[in-house]
């Protein structure tokens, strides 16, 4: 790629102020595939200045102008879909099928729903004798992780463009190549200079400079709860808006009338997709005491049927984790489960047989997990599920809610009304009933330490808008 050592600022690929660089590794081979420039505070300041300069003109564009812009972005995005997918397979180990059929289309879906929301949204409304106006918030700092890059980048960029805001993006330094392709897409689509800017770098340097910058009006952050707390601290002195999508430890309640032979393999496929690297993964399976032996046997068979291997192989379901640190964390949590008395039904420590290099993790089922265990409390972010027994519905809900997180939840039952009743008792921002997937038209976000914002469609658009009351504007 031509632009790995440059940043996209004010409509141009520019040389960085910093001389720092970082090797990007292929997690399947542990070998370097590119070297990127790492920015510093000066680079952030240049990007923010460009976004601030572009804001007055872009914020006053018409709805029709922004609709046309999003339509052009969608057209170019579709043309470059293959380049995005190839970057994802190389830099984060996404299997080719997952990259082409899930990762890249998810980003396209965010643009489609943002476009639909823009067409429908009422930017002005009459209330009493006043007019309430929804206006673009200003310059936005966007900080995104590496696990679902097209989805997580577009879930911020698409509504920001729809709102008329300008922005500076800091993608993850672990998987930055797809973001460079994305910047090329926006440039080719004709996004005005300064409206979108990209600076690569790490969190303590570029992330901190962006979140503390006095000319940034909003930070939209997706990542770990630990990092989100630091972002909020950095943003606090300038009282900017902070919207956060953070970690999760989602419970999957299997009610006693659920068809376990259908539900468990289905939900394990969902958890282990993307090698388990999803913040909303329902990895805590809660099972009736009387059905635990049955559940363990089904889960064990399902895990052992999964194909882990090189991401370029179309037969591969699970590729490697993204980094050595990610691999080490999953190994630590599996070891902690063993040390604390749980049972590894299948999988476990080390790489799968035949994979001697790369950050591969065995699809793992851990049974006999109780709420006091480390693996029941910490986010795993790998292809690992835990099985915990419960006594009755009240006990299941209690266990599900016994966590600092509240991103997502899952419940399955042969009685849809019963499942819906349990869903309403779960203290999470989202609940999947009987295997339902995400709906890009509905808000995405969590309770408690899983965050404080909402993304997708109209709710995502509103995050990038300020609300103004004009009194006396609706009088005769």
* Catalytic member of 184, 279, 458, 463: 279
Q: Where in the chain is the domain with CATH 3.40.605.10?
A: 7-246+451-471
In terms of CATH, what superfamily is 7-246+451-471?
Aldehyde Dehydrogenase; Chain A, domain 1 (3.40.605.10)
Within 8 A by CB and 6+ apart from 186, the residues are 73, 76, 157, 196
* Token code pair at residue 417: 């009304």
Catalytic site residue 245?
A: yes
Q: Where in the chain is the domain with CATH 3.40.309.10?
A: 251-440
* Catalytic member of 91, 173, 184, 245: 245
Whole-number Å distance between alpha carbons of 86 and 104 = 10
CATH number 3.40.309.10 given to 251-440: yes
Tens digit of pLDDT per residue, the chain (476 long)?
Answer: 689 999 999 999 999 999 999 999 999 999 999 999 999 999 999 999 999 999 999 999 999 999 999 999 999 999 999 999 999 999 999 999 999 999 999 999 999 999 999 999 999 999 999 999 999 999 999 999 999 999 999 999 999 999 999 999 999 999 999 999 999 999 999 999 999 999 999 999 999 999 999 999 999 999 999 999 999 999 999 999 999 999 999 999 999 999 999 999 999 999 999 999 999 999 999 999 999 999 999 999 999 999 999 999 999 999 999 999 999 999 999 999 999 999 999 999 999 999 999 999 999 999 999 999 999 999 999 999 999 999 999 999 999 999 999 999 999 999 999 999 999 999 999 999 999 999 999 999 999 999 999 999 999 999 999 999 999 987 75
């Amino acid at each position: 790629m031509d632009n790995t050592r440059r940043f996209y600022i004010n409509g141009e690929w520019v040389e960085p102020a910093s001389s720092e660089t970082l090797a990007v590794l292929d997690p399947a081979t542990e070998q370097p595939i590119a070297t990127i420039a790492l920015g510093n505070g000066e680079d952030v300041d240049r990007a923010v200045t460009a976004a601030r300069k572009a804001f007055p003109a872009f914020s006053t564009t018409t709805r029709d102008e922004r609709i046309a812009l999003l339509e052009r972005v969608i057209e170019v995005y579709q043309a470059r879909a293959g380049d995005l997918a190839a970057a994802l397979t190389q830099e984060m180990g996404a299997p080719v099928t997952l990259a082409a059929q899930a990762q890249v289309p998810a980003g396209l879906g965010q643009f489609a729903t943002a476009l639909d929301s823009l067409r429908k949204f009422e930017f002005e409304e009459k209330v009493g004798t006043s007019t309430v106006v929804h206006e673009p918030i200003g310059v936005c700092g966007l900080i995104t992780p590496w696990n679902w890059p097209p989805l997580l980048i577009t879930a911020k960029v698409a509504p920001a463009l729809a709102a008329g805001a300008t922005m500076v993006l800091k993608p993850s330094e672990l998987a930055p190549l797809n973001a460079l392709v994305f910047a090329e897409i926006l440039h080719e689509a004709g996004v005005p200079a300064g409206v979108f800017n990209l600076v690569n770098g790490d969190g303590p340097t570029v992330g901190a400079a962006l979140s503390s910058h006095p000319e940034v009006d909003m930070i939209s952050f997706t990542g770990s709860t630990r990092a989100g707390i630091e972002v909020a601290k950095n943003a606090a002195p300038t009282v900017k808006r902070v919207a956060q999508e953070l970690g999760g430890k989602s419970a999957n309640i299997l009610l006693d009338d659920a068809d376990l032979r259908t539900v468990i393999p289905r939900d394990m496929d969902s958890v282990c997709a993307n090698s388990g690297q999803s913040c909303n993964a329902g990895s805590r399976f809660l099972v009736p005491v009387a059905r635990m032996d049955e559940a363990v046997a089904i889960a064990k068979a399902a895990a052992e049927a999964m194909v882990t291997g090189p991401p370029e192989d179309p037969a591969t379901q699970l590729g490697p984790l993204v980094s050595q640190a990610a691999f080490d964390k999953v190994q630590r949590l599996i070891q902690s489960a063993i040390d604390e008395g749980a049972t590894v039904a299948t999988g476990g420590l080390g790489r799968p047989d035949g994979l001697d290099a790369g950050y591969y993790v065995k699809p793992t089922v851990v049974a006999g997990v109780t709420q006091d265990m480390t693996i029941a409390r910490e986010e795993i972010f790998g292809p690992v599920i835990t099985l915990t027994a419960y006594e009755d519905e009240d006990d299941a809900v209690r266990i599900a809610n016994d966590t600092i997180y509240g991103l997502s939840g899952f419940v399955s039952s042969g009685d849809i009304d019963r499942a819906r009743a349990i869903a309403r008792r779960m203290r999470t921002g989202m609940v999947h009933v009987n295997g339902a997937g995400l709906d890009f038209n509905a808000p995405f976000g969590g309770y408690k330490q899983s965050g404080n914002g909402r993304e997708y469609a109209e709710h995502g658009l509103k995050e990038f808008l300020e609300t103004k009351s004009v009194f006396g504007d609706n009088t005769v």
